[in-house]
Amino acid sequence: MIPSPQEWRPNGIQDLEPAAWEALRAGTASVTAGPGAGKSEFLAQRAGYLLETGICRPPQQILAISFKRAAATNLRDRVKQRLPEYAHRFTSMTFDAFTKSIVDRFRGLLPSEWTLGAGYKIAFSTKREVEGFLADVAGGLDQESAQAVYALSADTFLPNVLGATELSAVPSEQPAPTSASEFAVQEWWNRNYLHAEAPVVDFVMLNRLADLIIRTSPQLQRALRATYPFVFVDEFQDTTYAQYSFLKTVFAHEGTTVTAVGDRKQRIMGWAGALGDAFAQFEADFAAEPFAFTSNFRSTQQLVDLQHRFAIRLDPDSPPQRSRVEPPVGETPVAVWSFPTAEREADAIAAWIATDMEGTGRQPSDYALIARQKVVELEPDLTRALSAAGLRLRNDDAQVGDIRLQDLLTDDLVRLLLGILALAVNRGGQPQIWREVTSLLSRVSPGASVREVGTQVEDDLTDYLQDLRRWLAATPLDDNSGIDLSEEIAASLTNQLTDFVRVEAAGHKRLFGDRPEDLTVTLEAFRTRLAQTLLRVDSWSEVAGVFFDEDAVPLLTVHRSKGLEYHTVFFIGLDSDQWWAHARNTLESTMTFFVGVSRAAERLIFTQCDQRGAPAPLGELYQDLRDAGVPLVRFD
């Protein structure tokens, strides 16, 4: 039975707050709300509403755009969990992955002067390279124009200037530039793309190319709008100039309903070119109806009250939030711990987590160690101390090949490959993994009907699992020969799995294309991580668990923690080593602090250690903690 819009009820949660009900049923809308207000949850519920009532009718899809892969995966998982039968009509990807997929799939539509080959290179220009470029451009100009080019900032040139400039379909016929910035933008494209032997592009450039492809192809515009009549954008406060203008090109049209959610106080991508107030622009350009939510479903009232002290530093009109969480009895939810050394700090954190787990049955993933920056420097002490307490640390910021561990572990293809391995190793009892693997494989199998494809996929998978089991049995991991074969075994297994999944096939590439970097980068990182994993296990049954390190306490930067939540957060390093730049850009730094603080559901422990300096740079924020009566505990 298809519920009517009036009959429809939320999935997996009791209810929504009144403003959320209104926004759920609205057209194009902007939703602003504080941390833990259920913005991402609201998007998952709105997906349910649109799909279950048939307002979004097959084969139409919902396109959800996030900024970080973890957020995109998180939203996709929520929808999968709540609405398994509709999950294939909910496309959740990062902005960069979406624009890159447009370029990869439709680069044939680029106007002739912009032709781009398949093997183009992705690169990230450093500040120094941009500086060098601007100096070089200025060198060929008269004094007045040169000064105007020098006045451009190397930090913001790409995201704010190049990113905000539309490409002309026929650059050779473009009128002469009328300003220094127009000239510099044209030169950038000339040198790195139009007149370059092998074009090199970064994500801002890919975005501009995707924008050009769509602007100049009415057919593609129609196709995209027909496929995605409903578009969601999460963390909208972090939208860059380029992304915003792309959204406008593609979706600011009748027939597309856009829902943008976010929190102005959590804008921590200013350095990467986020718009000053993306919501105000959106409301004006898209005629969006504004909504604000005021509940907090994550944190206890005591933590919400503390967060509010920081919220009003960012926006004095910020409304207080009401916690919907029952507070636990008899606990100290907030404290500042102060230590002489980092070693002592790590020991205290590790011992405390071990004792808390023992007393409560909580899992390592209920805790998080969050720091402003430099987590690599914090890692050794914490790894040692946790290991002495019988626990493991997982540095989500660690580099694996060319990507970060968090991005690798939340990648769809990686999850599929390990899902297949888990099915081969543990017979039966894994219906959820079986469903996930077969549903992903079915989506790309050519075939007559969904049912036929389904059985074919199941048969192929069953056959393949038998082969794989034989290979695993012939490749034991407890070999005592003293020869390290982990690299060879990892390479061989990666090849077999990717052959079976036919990763290189065109259709599959599209399915697995929801990552910003190339497939080869992901597979290389997968192989590297697999080889590292094999060194730590004695049997195949342990591989998937150790690969994901689910039984480890995560260590991550505030930026990586965005959108995530934990029972207990240790906010490490209220000291000058971590916050030395606070005074330079106090607004953005305070927003970063606010994001970190608001990840905690029930307990928040700040740490400071003399070895890394005094809390002086945080000034007013530290004072807020004192004013709130947060106890200071000194460990000597």
Ligand X SMILES: Nc1ncnc2c1ncn2[C@@H]1O[C@H](COP(=O)(O)OP(=O)(O)OP(=O)(O)O)[C@@H](O)[C@H]1O
CB neighbours of residue 392 within 10 Å: 15
| Of 320, 313, 269, the residue nearest 292 (C-alpha) | 320
- In this complex, which beta carbon is closest to ligand X, that of residue 35 or of residue 270? 35
| 39 touches ligand X by CB under 6 A | yes
- In this complex, which beta carbon is closest to ligand X, that of residue 508 or of residue 562? 562
| 563 touches ligand X by CB under 6 A | yes
Pick from 5, 7, 9, 13 the residue near ligand X by CB under 6 A: 13
User: Is 278 annotated in some ligand binding site?
Assistant: no
| 381 touches ligand X by CB under 6 A | no
| 36 touches ligand X by CB under 6 A | yes
In angstroms, the CA 127 to CA 156 distance is: 9
Pick from 30, 32, 40, 259 the residue near ligand X by CB under 6 A: 40
In the complex, least distance from residue 427 CB atom to ligand X, rounded to whole angstroms:
33
Q: HSE (CB half, 13 Å, CA atoms) of 511? A: 21
Query: Distance from CA of residue 129 to its chain's centroid?
Result: 27
| 515 touches ligand X by CB under 6 A | no
In angstroms, the CA 603 to CA 335 distance is: 9
Supply 604's token pair.
């928040």
In angstroms, the CA 595 to CA 563 distance is: 9
| 270 touches ligand X by CB under 6 A | no
User: Is 439 annotated in some ligand binding site?
Assistant: no
- In this complex, which beta carbon is closest to ligand X, that of residue 106 or of residue 297? 297
In the complex, least distance from residue 218 CB atom to ligand X, rounded to whole angstroms:
36
In the complex, least distance from residue 37 CB atom to ligand X, rounded to whole angstroms:
4
In the complex, least distance from residue 261 CB atom to ligand X, rounded to whole angstroms:
7
| Of 156, 266, 314, 336, the residue nearest 559 (C-alpha) | 266
Extract long-range pairs of 453-461: CB within 8 Å, 24+ residues apart.
461/420, 461/423, 461/437
User: Residues for the chain: how many in total?
Assistant: 636
User: Is 71 annotated in some ligand binding site?
Assistant: no
- What character string, x for contact with ligand X (CB under 6 A) and - otherwise, covers 16-35? x----------------x-x
Question: Which run of H or of E encompasses 399?
Answer: strand 399-400
User: Is 36 annotated in some ligand binding site?
Assistant: yes
Strand partners, 370: 556, 571
Which of these segments, 12-20, 154-162, 237-245, 510-518, binds ligand X (CB under 6 A)? 12-20
User: Backbone phi, then psi, for 314, in 5-degree steps?
Assistant: -90, -30
Residue whose beta carbon is closest to ligand X: 38
| 70 touches ligand X by CB under 6 A | no
In the complex, least distance from residue 35 CB atom to ligand X, rounded to whole angstroms:
3
- In this complex, which beta carbon is closest to ligand X, that of residue 84 or of residue 390? 84
User: Is 35 annotated in some ligand binding site?
Assistant: yes
Could you say which residues in the range 236-265 bind ligand X, by CB under 6 A?
Answer: 263
Query: Burial letters for 449-466: b for 16+ Cβ neighbours within 10 Å, e otherwise?
Result: eeeebbebbeeebeebbe
Binding site for ligand X (CB under 6 A): 13-14, 16, 33, 35-41, 263, 266, 297-298, 563, 565, 598
Binding-site annotation: residue ranges for ATP: 33-40
